[in-house]
């Protein structure tokens, strides 16, 4: 049972390596698999390495398609190559919540964060991201998957 408890946080700017595309919602899983593999290969070639779990950052509200960056927080020197670019997850005030369960129920967690923001008189930004804390290959039961949702305030 997913019962996210949104909490207010302050994020620090985080360098990331990403692939950004506009993707049909129905193709997100394929995009993530392709992007995460390409980013790992590109960063390793340059001696950079992931410092956290894979994430997806959404620009604007998803519809049939979504403007999305998939990537990893990185450390070490990396310059864009092979379609992989450097970017930054911005620092600032945000709300985060841990979602437990399949990805198709993430809307519940976004709703809980949005309610918390409204209760505090805050406006959500048009960009938010998800850290994928569970590896579906290691944890085959979607009911146990954990995703950290981070939604900055405007």
Q: Domain locations in the chain?
A: 7-152
And the tokens for 87? Answer: 């970017």
Instruction: Give the mean pLDDT of 45-66.
Output: 93
pLDDT at 114: 95
Mean of per-residue pLDDT scores for the chain: 94
Secondary structure of residue 103 in the 3-state scheme:
helix
Query: Given this model, what pLDDT does residue 1 score?
Result: 55
pLDDT category, 2, cuts 50, 70, 90? low
**Per-residue model confidence as pLDDT tens digits over 126-141:** 999 999 999 888 999 9
Q: Kindly state the percentage of the chain with pLDDT values over 90.
A: 90
Distance CA 7, CA 58 (A): 20
Q: Which residues of 47-65 are buried (b: 16+ CB within 10 A; e: fewer)?
A: ebebeebbbbbbbeeeeee
Quote the Cα angle for 95-22-136, to 5°: 60
The CATH number assigned to the domain with range 7-152 reads: 3.20.80.10
pLDDT value, residue 69: 97
């Amino acid at each position: 049972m997913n019962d996210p408890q949104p909490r207010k946080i302050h994020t620090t700017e985080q360098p990331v390596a990403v692939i950004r595309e506009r993707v049909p919602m129905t193709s997100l899983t394929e995009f993530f698999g392709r992007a995460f593999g390409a980013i790992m290969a590109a960063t390793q070639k340059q001696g950079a390495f992931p410092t956290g779990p894979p994430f997806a950052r959404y620009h604007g509200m998803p519809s049939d398609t979504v403007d999305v960056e998939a990537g990893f927080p990185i450390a070490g020197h990396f310059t864009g190559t092979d379609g992989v670019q450097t970017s930054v997850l911005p620092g600032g005030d945000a709300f985060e919540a841990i979602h437990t369960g399949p990805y198709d129920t993430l809307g519940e967690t976004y709703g809980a964060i949005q309610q918390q923001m409204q209760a505090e008189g805050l406006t959500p930004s048009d960009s938010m991201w998800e850290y994928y804390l569970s590896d579906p290959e290691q944890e085959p039961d979607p009911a146990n998957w954990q995703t950290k949702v981070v939604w900055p305030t405007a």
